[in-house]
């Protein structure tokens, strides 16, 4: 990090996403999405330091899309378990490294920060790379260290964190060899602008109507897939010019503050709930004397991951949908691999993501809290 001062609510100036990226030591490269950037990093490592059967040590709780991209790059994933508080175990991760390992991959799940120092130590000892996945994070800190600054490579997703239709960024904090994206084809700006305008219009109407959606039934997202018998091919694209330009306008503080504000409202709204358990809470919130929570400085949420008794998760998701809010359920296609992953299994069947992005209308936040509390016996 260049000249990092740690997080302080008072001193952080308003910065655009572009200026935020410029604070990192390494150069940023703009991609069609974060997964394309990930693929390019794997290809680049393998090209410059070939291994016969390259592998990458991965969390087993990830979207299938990342698994497909690993296979397309010719890597084997070696999976580690993901506990329900996202506190991954460096010993388990260390035990997976062998002489074919090229990198360890770590995710700040849903914005909950992971302590990367033990993994950084592991990678330095083994002479391999650390890839830090900040797809769910922006301007986050853990113990005064900015998320995104520990990994040799860091991925951001403008698609996930800013509700762009696509877009991802690769920050190269270390650059042992020359790097450039493997393709120069761009996502089309008109495609991006069209979808962005459509989604912004939808959000504006949603807000104006206090969360009422007159156009269509709220559809739930589909489940990712992995076909292990198939050939996986990736056509890397770089970010469209419109989004690159928009990154210069996008106000990071505004985005972060709105997410924090929405998150805190939800967290306190359901703090006495009998069966809904916010995940990883110790790493981002403090309980005050009044019994209300405050959020730690430097925590930027993506969504609020909560654990719901497995047989009730779909019921709660449906109740919230009826109340006008669509909630994702993480990655039900995970965990992958033959070995049982007991912790990630709990996430598979119990995790629900409560949305906190800036386009959620205040009335929707209230509906979510009311709906969840009605379900609490």
Ligand X SMILES: Cc1ncc(COP(=O)(O)O)c(C=O)c1O
**Stretch binding ligand X (CB under 6 A), from 73-81, 118-126, 133-141, 174-182:** 133-141
Q: Backbone phi, then psi, for 55, in 5-degree steps?
A: -130, 165
Which residue, 146 or 157, has its beta carbon nearer to ligand X? 157
136 near ligand X, judged by CB under 6 A = yes
3-state secondary structure 165-191: CCCEEEEECCCCCCCCCCCCCECCHHH
- Binding residue (CB under 6 A) for ligand X from 29, 160, 237, 313: 160
107 near ligand X, judged by CB under 6 A = yes
Whether 368 contacts 354, CB under 8 Å: yes
Give the β-pairing of 55-59 and 101-107: parallel
Q: Tell me the CA end-to-end span of the chain in Å, nearest whole number.
A: 48
35 near ligand X, judged by CB under 6 A = yes
Closest distance of CB 33 from ligand X, Å: 3
- Binding residue (CB under 6 A) for ligand X from 97, 135, 170, 325: 135
Q: What is the DSSP letter of 238?
A: B
Contact track, ligand X, 68-87, x by CB under 6 A: --------------------
Strand partners, 169: 30, 156
**Stretch binding ligand X (CB under 6 A), from 129-137, 182-190, 229-237, 288-296:** 129-137
262 near ligand X, judged by CB under 6 A = no
Candidates 88, 83, 81, 56; CA nearest to 69 is: 56
**Stretch binding ligand X (CB under 6 A), from 155-163, 231-239, 257-265, 315-323:** 155-163
**Stretch binding ligand X (CB under 6 A), from 8-16, 27-35, 206-214, 304-312:** 27-35
| Cα distances (Å, whole numbers) of residue 299 to 113, 168, 263 | 8, 21, 10
33 near ligand X, judged by CB under 6 A = yes
The separation between CA 169 and the C-alpha centre of its own chain, rounded to angstroms, equals 13
Radius of gyration of the chain (CA): 20
Which residue, 283 or 366, has its beta carbon nearer to ligand X? 283
Q: How far is it, in rounded angstroms, from Cα 148 to Cα 298?
A: 13
**Stretch binding ligand X (CB under 6 A), from 71-79, 116-124, 153-161, 255-263:** 153-161
* DSSP per-residue string spanning 317-368: HHHHHHTT---B-S-TT---SSS--HHHHHHHHHEEEEE-STTS-HHHHHHH
Whether 142 contacts 298, CB under 8 Å: yes
103 near ligand X, judged by CB under 6 A = no
The separation between CA 73 and the C-alpha centre of its own chain, rounded to angstroms, equals 21
Which residue, 169 or 372, has its beta carbon nearer to ligand X? 169
301 near ligand X, judged by CB under 6 A = no
- Binding residue (CB under 6 A) for ligand X from 157, 206, 317, 343: 157
239 near ligand X, judged by CB under 6 A = no
| Cα distances (Å, whole numbers) of residue 215 to 194, 277, 359, 368 | 18, 33, 17, 21
Whether 328 contacts 176, CB under 8 Å: no
88 near ligand X, judged by CB under 6 A = no
133 near ligand X, judged by CB under 6 A = yes
**Stretch binding ligand X (CB under 6 A), from 88-96, 130-138, 208-216, 304-312:** 130-138
Closest distance of CB 210 from ligand X, Å: 29
Whether 161 contacts 302, CB under 8 Å: yes
- Binding residue (CB under 6 A) for ligand X from 34, 112, 256, 361: 34
Which 348-377 residues touch ligand X, going by CB under 6 A? none
| Peptide bond before residue 335 is cis, with ω within 30 degrees of 0 | yes
H or E element in which residue 104 lies: strand 101-107
Contact track, ligand X, 36-65, x by CB under 6 A: ---------------------------x--
Interacting residue ranges for ligand X, rule: CB under 6 A: 33-35, 63, 66, 107, 133, 135-136, 157, 159-160, 168
């Amino acid at each position: 990090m260049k000249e990092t001062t740690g997080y302080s609510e008072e001193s952080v100036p308003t910065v655009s996403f572009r200026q935020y990226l410029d604070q990192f030591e390494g150069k940023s490269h703009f991609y069609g999405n974060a997964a394309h950037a990930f693929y390019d990093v794997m290809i680049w490592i393998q090209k410059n330091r070939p291994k016969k059967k390259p592998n990458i040590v991965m969390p087993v709780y990830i979207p299938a899309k990342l698994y497909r991209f690993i296979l397309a790059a010719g890597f084997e994933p070696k999976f580690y378990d993901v506990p329900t508080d996202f506190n991954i175990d460096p010993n388990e991760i260390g035990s997976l490294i062998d002489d074919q390992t090229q990198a360890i991959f770590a995710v700040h799940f849903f914005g909950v920060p992971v302590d990367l120092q033990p993994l950084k130590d592991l990678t330095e000892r083994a002479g391999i790379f650390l890839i830090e996945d900040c797809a769910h994070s922006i301007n986050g800190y853990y113990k005064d260290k900015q998320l995104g600054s520990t990994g040799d490579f860091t991925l951001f997703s403008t698609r996930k964190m800013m509700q762009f239709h696509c877009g991802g960024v690769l920050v190269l904090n270390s650059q042992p060899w020359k790097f450039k994206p493997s393709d120069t084809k761009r996502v089309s700006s008109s495609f991006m602008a069209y979808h962005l305008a459509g989604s912004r219009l939808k959000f504006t109407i949603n807000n104006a109507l206090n969360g009422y959606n007159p156009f269509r039934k709220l559809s739930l997202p589909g489940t990712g897939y992995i076909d292990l018998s198939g050939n996986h091919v990736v056509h890397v694209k770089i970010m469209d010019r419109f989004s690159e330009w928009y990154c210069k306008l996008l106000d990071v503080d505004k985005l972060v503050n709105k997410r924090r504000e929405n998150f805190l409202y939800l967290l306190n709204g359901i703090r006495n709930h009998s069966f809904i358990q916010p995940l990883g809470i110790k790493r981002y919130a403090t309980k005050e004397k009044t019994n209300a929570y405050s959020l730690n400085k430097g925590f930027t949420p993506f969504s609020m991951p909560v654990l719901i008794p497995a047989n009730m998760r779909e019921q709660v998701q449906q109740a919230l949908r009826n109340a006008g809010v669509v909630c994702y359920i993480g990655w039900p296609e995970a965990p992958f691999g033959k070995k049982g992953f007991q912790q990630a299994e709990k996430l598979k069947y119990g995790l629900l993501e409560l949305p906190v992005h800036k386009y959620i209308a205040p009335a929707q936040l209230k509906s979510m809290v009311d709906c969840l509390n009605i379900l609490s016996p």
